[in-house]
Structure 1
Amino acid sequence: MIDQTLFIKRVDKDIILVQIYVDDIIFGSTNDALCKEFEEVMKKKFEMSSLGEMTMFMGLQVRQNNQGILIHQSKYVTDVLAKFSMTDSKPSDSPIAERPLLTEDPEGSPVNQTLYCSMISSLIYLTASRPDILYAVCQCARYQANPKLTHLTVVKRIFRYLKGAPKLGLWYPRDSNFDLFAFSDSNFGGIDRDRKSTSAGCQFFGDRLIFWQCKKQQTVSLSTAETEYAAASACCSQVLWMQHQLQDYGLTYLDTTIYCDNDAAIHITKTPVFHSKTKHIDIKIHFIRDCFDRGLIKLEQIHTDANTADLSTKPVSISRFNVLVDLLKMIRFTD
């Protein structure tokens, strides 16, 4: 119902899932016989070959064993470092410095826009498996129209960070539970150019990070509560989409917990009396209250230090950065 490229067949207690992307197909089943049957049918109907157990898909490398699945892009990291002559660069401990904040720098020296945009495009593709660089890449991407030397320096720092941590991937353990929950956070007025805030969120299945986002808010917020409320609303939208997506797999999730570190945003969601103070907030944001009333989500308080989404809202110290990467369940691996 949600993903029109997903096909499902159930045979008794077994199930086979087929996911199509243009001319590539991923399929898996709880019964090997269903996989073999599907493979034979497709080979008869179409000119195609089977690559066996998935090890690569759309640039994502996949490593599977009895303990779980590792998804990474280490080969791509090596390729882009070579492409932009950063292979011999000095490694950095984090993708972006805590200070100074990145600005438009109108008096700065301009740089090659084509090169800058090409570097940004390569990094954006890498965020498919590297949420640790998402915030830094999003910040640099905002200056593609008129990049300056200060912006290029930050982009090169992201590459230097990748040089120091090329083999970092997302680990999906087999024995973890399937509880769906999310984290929401924001950075109040963090954009120097227009003082708009940044919303961020990440969604987990147990110990498995399955989605993450970082986006500048469309309007200027007048308070921390407002910007946190907007971020929670955006996170709620993603959770609802995932709830509907999971129904296609036969999984039903209600009352999904969204962790937020702002008391005011939680009170606004739970208590209608506070809404008289929030009329200036865009009306569409208030749908999170309806979702709360319907039991689709619940907002819970969490300490800022434990809020995983904090990594995608602002630059942090190296020690804080390493803690947040650990919370994302990313692991360093070797060949």
Structure 2
Amino acid sequence: MKQAPRAWYDKLSSFLIENDFARGKVDCTLFRKKFKSDFIIVQIYVDDIIFGATNEVLCQEFSSMMQEEFEMSMMGELKFFLGLQILQSDEGIKIHQTKYIKELLKKFKMDDAKEMKTPMHPSSALALDEDSPNVDQTQYRAMIGSLLYLTASRPDIMFSVYVCARFQVEPREVHLKVVKRIFRYLKGTINLGMCFRRSQDFSLLGYCDADYAGDRWERKSTSGGCHFMGSCLVSWTSKRQSTIVLSTCEAEYVAAGQCCTQLLWLKHQLEDYDIYEGNIPIMCDNTAAINLSKNPVMHSRSKHIEIKHHFIRDHVEKGDCEMEFVNSEDQLADIFTKPLSKERFYDLRNKLGILSENNLS
């Protein structure tokens, strides 16, 4: 049974290639076929297939071709996929998990809880807190696991969920209170989701930020990043850095390297759609990190930085990307590095395109 998905993929991919589909170079589950000025795209997830085309006739032909070869049924327009709810309109697409959130609130008996304005208090700084009482590990891990899947459509809770996830080995009551606050925030924002407005702009843009030594437990910094295609947020990250850095500059420089990695992956992914990007701007609010990415001279204050972090410098020299300065007020990645005040949190949430169904139009 473990080999079944691989065998199915081999059979399906061979069939598609025989019918003149081209397999993606980055994503091997993506297939594409051109018809003069039109094209069709097929995305495979085990035995589920999502496809779309610039001409409805291509969709009908593909459906007929697949049903002749395999025992398959058409589910119609995509509205629900792997727990994600998809709402399509003339203005764009909204992806949300309203049904999933309601199920979580009921499962963990939080459906009658008081609503909160933000997922984490601005002054929160979690640590081991050995004086706090222990809590049930099974329940705590179940709550964290459920929330982690929710970050697929709710980047606004990503930082707070990942901070709480660090204490799954020995959770305390103080950690559980923060997790419950996330659920209380979700209760008041059930209808929020990611909105992707219709556009012909496919240019890439990245924002990177870091919270220097923000982790009270190991004194490591937290990297945050968000990546846009046109005006649409397509990727985001919040991750504790693997090494302890010695300055704000170094923390920002490491975060910029991680942001560059993701943007290059997106750049290569777009090539499967015949979209080719040149120099990708990376917005950073630290001038020292920007200068470090452009200056190949080794300084005494930066010579301790690990070689792997100079990855971004190589790509800046090649012209693949370029670090640019952005004011801290306009740094969208700020929401992935630290807890924020209500006003700041709401402002960044709206700029990232996390809106309710009524705001899509």
Q: TM-score, normalised by structure 1?
A: 0.98
User: What is the CA-CA distance between 1:274 and the residue it aligns to?
Assistant: 5.0
Percentage of pairs with the same residue: 48
Q: Distance in 1 between matches of 2:112 and 2:75?
A: 35
**Gap regions ≥5 residues in structure 2:** 1-24
Q: Whole-Å Cα distance in 2 between the matches of residues 316 and 167 of structure 1? A: 21
- Residues 297 and 107 (structure 1), Cα distance of their counterparts in 2 relative to 1, 3 Å cut: same
Shift of residue 176 of structure 1? 6.0
Contact 2:124 2:339 in 1 (8 A): no
2:224 maps to 1:200: yes
1:275 deviates by 4.8
Q: Is 138-147 or 44-53 further displaced after alignment?
A: 44-53
In the alignment, which residue of structure 1 is the partner of 2:133?
109
Report the Cα distance in structure 1 between the residues aligned to 2:51 and 2:42, rounded to whole angstroms. Answer: 4
**1:70 aligned partner:** 94
SS at match of 1:201: strand
Does the 8 Å contact 1:229/1:265 carry over to 2?
yes
Q: What is the aligned partner in structure 2 of residue 59 from structure 1?
A: 83
Q: Give 1:229-268 correspondences, 5 Å limit.
A: 229-268=253-292
Deviates more, 1:134-143 or 1:29-38: 29-38
CA distance in 2, matches of 1:19, 1:8: 9
- Stretch deviating more after TM superposition (266-275 or 20-29): 266-275
Q: Aligned-pair distance for 1:263?
A: 0.3
Post-superposition shift, 1:177?
Answer: 2.4
- Partner amino acid, structure 1, of 2:143: M
Kept in 2: contact 1:20–1:26 (CA 8 A) = yes
Q: Distance in 2 between matches of 1:263 and 1:4?
A: 39
Distance 2:241 2:34 in 1: 42
2: CA distance, partners of 1:40 / 1:275:
64
Match of 2:326 among 279, 284, 302: 302
Partner-residue secondary structure (3-state), 1:193:
coil
- Give the letter for the 2:222 counterpart: T
| 1:50 corresponds to which of 38, 50, 74 | 74
Alpha-carbon displacement from aligned partner over 1:233-253 (angstroms, at most 9, x marks no partner): 000000111111111111101
Return the letter of the residue paired with 1:132.
Answer: D
- 2: CA distance, partners of 1:50 / 1:333: 27
The one of 145, 159, 162 aligned to 2:169: 145
Q: CA RMSD in A?
A: 1.2
Q: What is the TM-score normalised by the length of structure 2?
A: 0.91
The aligned amino acid for 1:25 is: I
1:67-112 per-position Cα deviation (integer Å, ceiling 9, x unaligned): 1111111111111011101101000000001113111111110000
Query: Structure 2: how far apart are the matches of 1:236 and 1:71?
Result: 26
Q: Distance in 2 between matches of 1:280 and 1:99?
A: 32
CA contact (8 A) 1:176 1:207 kept: no
- Matches of 2:345 and 2:267 in 1, distance apart? 30
Of the structure 1 ranges 233-242 and 172-181, higher mean CA displacement relative to structure 2 is found in: 172-181
1:319 to 343, 346, 352: 343
Note if contact 1:173-1:208 (Cα within 8 Å) is conserved in structure 2: yes
- In structure 1, runs of 5+ residues without a counterpart are none
| Count of matched residue positions in the alignment of Structure 1 and Structure 2 | 335
In the alignment, is residue 25 of structure 1 matched against residue 28 of structure 2?
no
Pairs within 5 Å for 1:212-223: 212-223=236-247
